[in-house]
Amino acid sequence: MTSLASLRDLILTDAEVNAEYERLGPIFAVVGEMVEARQSAGLTQAELARRMGTSQSVIERLESSRHMPTFDLISRYAHALNRRIEVHLAPLSSDGAERPA
């Protein structure tokens, strides 16, 4: 049986697919942090939605990464969790790859 990691590696050998994967990586990382923060706060999607003045379905779509979140929505999400947003622009290496932190 093929593992998920080996399947991902195989798919990413396609340059176009790999470029899109790299482009979306930071978005998935932010959404992952958002979900972790909500769960750490002990809130359900519905409870967070009430705090934000929106619906649970908006939170579900945001957390599933089906739609590109706006900075405003991320900011409202963070505020509802009593969190702040920190943005860092990290330099790339000479070959265009990300440098380790």
pLDDT range class, residue 98, cuts 50, 70, 90 = low
The one-letter amino acid code at 84 reads R
Average pLDDT over residues 72-96: 90
pLDDT range class, residue 20, cuts 50, 70, 90 = confident
Those residues with Cβ within 8 angstroms of residue 80's Cβ, 6 or more apart along the chain or in another chain? 48, 51, 52
Segment 23-43, tens digit of pLDDT:
888 888 899 999 999 999 999
Q: The tokens of 53 are what?
A: 């003045």
Count CA atoms closer than 13 A to 25's CA, side-chain side.
10
- The pLDDT, as a whole number, for residue 5 is 84
CATH number given to 4-80: 1.10.260.40
- In this prediction the pTM is 0.73
